[in-house]
Chains A and B, each alone.
Chain A
Amino acid sequence: MNNDEIIQVKDLKKYFKTSLGIVRAVDGISFTIREGETFGLVGESGSGKSTTAFTIMGVYEPTDGEIYFKGSPLPKSVKKRPLSLRKEMQMVFQDPGSSLNPRKRIGQIIELPLRVHRLHVGRERERVKELLEMVGLPVDFINRYPGAIGGGEKQLVAIARALASEPSFIALDEPTSALDVSMQAKIINTLLRIQKELNLTYLFITHNLSLMRNVASRVGIMYLGKMFEVAETSEFFHKPLHPYTKMLLSAIPVITEEEEKIKPKRVISRGEIPSPVNVPSGCYFHPRCIDCMEICKKEDPPMVEVSTGHFVKCHLYT
């Protein structure tokens, strides 16, 4: 294993029991995240992106598989993770409206991680102000309540809270999908600036591929709990291999001619992501795939490395 790999996920599985049957939310995925990079996870809703992040963070206990953090395996249960380990990993959620306690002042919200991890003892207040400045918010926000500020500003508060414990890894679950493009630009630029300043590693989840192009260094695409393709960002967008990646890329609405040019030839998107309790046989994507072959209906293809660092899970490439 390379030393620069901060997170290594090996054959991770997370199943949920429901009244309708077992949902294989994450079904045997493997990937690594390198120190200082932004690893992007894309996919349609229900593909298992958030479950992957939640399982890495310890919100869910994995059904099977291993997660390594800086070379050592993470205890399956979050309760067994020492405080020092939890301090290293933080998360920012999609909806800042519900991830901040409406009855606490912003100062109190950001201060809590400092108290839990006993950081900056005696000067917590000053540290909170520094954190607010770091994310570009006015320091007088310290006495306000979340309800009194806008959605984008709430998300910046959530980011300041995540930064408070001085983590080395942050999972960002659709941090801007509830916001307008101009607020999105502000938050993304803040995140990228802080990443450089503090040498942070991000796991960035979004369904917005145009946004992913601009933030991630490598991208993995998920479908029904499986990883379909992993590649360096420019390779992923210029030489997509998996038919699903091509379909997704060609469906993106773009505004300029240059963007139109790099999109794959129009693949008419058809069908919907099937129910996760009743998955298709063979390759999960075969009912929607335009290149479907006989073998695809029977066998689940293995993940193969087509060129250095470009992995794809499709019978076309085996």
Chain B
Amino acid sequence: MSENLLEVKDLYVNYKIYEGILKVLNGVNLTVKKKEKVGLIGESGCGKTTTMKAIMRILPDNALIPNGNIFYKGRDILKMSDDEIQKIRRENISMIFQDPTAALNPVLTVGAQLMDVIKYSTDEELTKREIRELAIKALKDVALPDPERILKNYPIMLSGGMRQRICIAMALISAKELLIADEPGTNLDVTIQDQILRLIGRLVEERGISVILISHALGAVKGLVDKVYVMYAGDIVEMAPTEKLFSDPIHPYTQALFKTVPKLTGGGIPEAIKGRIPDYINPPKGCRFAPRCIHAMPICMKEKPPLKNIEDEREVACFLYE
């Protein structure tokens, strides 16, 4: 299929730690089409960021990939040489990290960092003046006032919202085809988060690029993406177009997760999902959600349910829908 920009196929990622091997990703499958806006939701520790880091090939040294493929326009990222992946990171895919303060170097000015990114984003020899003009344009694109001054500022002189905008500006320089946004603005205030998300939405629309938006703030995802993947303990448990997923979730985990979100309409907070996220050293053999699932059947404890297409554009990994 040529329209698939990115295709993650049966991806497993383990981390080697002192206590043993953490089996984190348990066969992840996801696809991103051209110009598609994709959401990835799930609680912390479910493997969202690990999946994205695998795509960017920036997993830490103790990570092992025993199985799986990540096809980018038909070519496997995992098999590329360092030069090739470097070229992709520089021209095609880029990532916005959750904490804009940690993502920027505190001892360099914004201008120095941003112009560095611009300089190395292309093979062309740009003059200093051209680089500077591109940097100013990049800052204007993310609606930052007074870009000339900001170029001279150090990150600490700017607010959290402005730092996040700078990170977006930097990422967009290299994200000519796919932007990965890992919890953008979720540690910022709600009005700032709202501004950041609208900005990302507008920019990807204008430039016709695809985006993967990761968040545990479910409402934030809802307003921006076309389809959503739900992740639990290293598994994709459900995928559906955004409207369908939020109006009619079908996987027991998705249903339970939506119930625990406090509603603006009030009515109290329903009981939490019982139990806790599984131990990744000894994960449950069958469905990883089975020990906490209210519909669990004997087969759920033995076999891992495959992610199956059940209707148009809708996939679920659950034996209830076999």
Contact = CB atoms under 8 A, between A and B. Distances in A.
B55 to A, nearest CB: 23
A211 B195 CA distance: 21
A185 interface: yes
Contact of A253 (B162, B219, B256, B270): B219
A272 B161 contact: yes
A130 B195 CA distance: 47
B301 interface: no
B263 A251 contact: no
Interface string B191-223: 111110100000000000000000011111111
Contacts, number: 123
Given A207-B190, A253-B219, A180 B266 contact: no
B62 interface: no
B263 A252 contact: no
A256 interface: yes
B246 A270 contact: no
B256 to A, nearest CB: 8
Interface string A20-61: 000000000000000000000000110000000000000000
A184 B262 CA distance: 9
B276 A44 contact: no
B222 A253 contact: yes
Contacts of A70: none
A180 B261 contact: no
Contact of A180 (B43, B194, B258, B269): B43
A210 B260 contact: no
A214 interface: yes
B316 to A, nearest CB: 19
Interface string B245-277: 011000000001110111111111111110010
B276 A214 contact: no
B264 A248 contact: no
B264 A263 contact: yes
Interface string A257-279: 11100110000011011000000
A183 interface: yes
Interface in B117-172: 159, 161-162
B261 A255 contact: yes
| Contact count band on B | 35 or more
B86 interface: no
B223 to A, nearest CB: 6
Given A182-B272, A185-B269, A188-B269, A44 B264 contact: no
B240 to A, nearest CB: 14
B222 A185 contact: no
B44 interface: yes
A229 to B, nearest CB: 16
Interface string B101-129: 00000000000000000000000000000
Given A185-B271, A189-B271, A254 B264 contact: yes
Interface string A206-223: 011111011100000000
A209 B190 contact: yes
Contacts of A207: 189-190
B270 A259 contact: no
A272 B188 CA distance: 11
A162 B22 CA distance: 35
A209 B264 contact: yes
| Contact count band on A | 35 or more
Chain A residues touching B, majority SS:
helix
Interface string A187-206: 01100100000000000000
B43 A182 contact: yes
A84 to B, nearest CB: 34
A182 B260 contact: yes
Contacts of A318: none
A259 B216 contact: no
Contacts of B263: 210, 213-214, 254, 256, 258-259
Nearest to B224: A253
Contacts of A214: 262-263, 266-269
Given A180-B43, A184-B260, A213 B195 contact: no
A186 interface: yes
A210 B223 contact: no
Interface in B213-241: 216-223
A214 B266 CA distance: 5
Contacts of B218: 181, 253, 255
A189 B272 contact: yes
A181 B261 contact: yes
B219 A182 contact: no
B216 A180 contact: yes
Contacts of A247: 191
Interface string A235-247: 0010000000001
Contact of A251 (B190, B260, B266): B190
The winner among A182, A185, A247, A258 for most chain B CB atoms within 10 A is: A182
A50 B197 CA distance: 27
B90 to A, nearest CB: 32
Contacts of A237: 264, 266
Contacts of A184: 260, 262, 269, 272
Interface of B: 43-44, 159, 161-162, 189-195, 197, 216-223, 246-247, 256-258, 260-273, 276
28 contacts: A181-B257, A182-B43, A184-B269, A184-B272, A185-B260, A186-B271, A186-B272, A210-B263, A213-B264, A213-B266, A214-B263, A214-B266, A214-B267, A237-B264, A237-B266, A251-B190, A251-B194, A252-B219, A253-B190, A253-B194, A253-B217, A253-B218, A255-B219, A255-B222, A255-B261, A258-B265, A262-B264, A272-B191
Closest 5 CB pairs of A and B: A253-B219, A186-B272, A269-B191, A185-B272, A251-B194
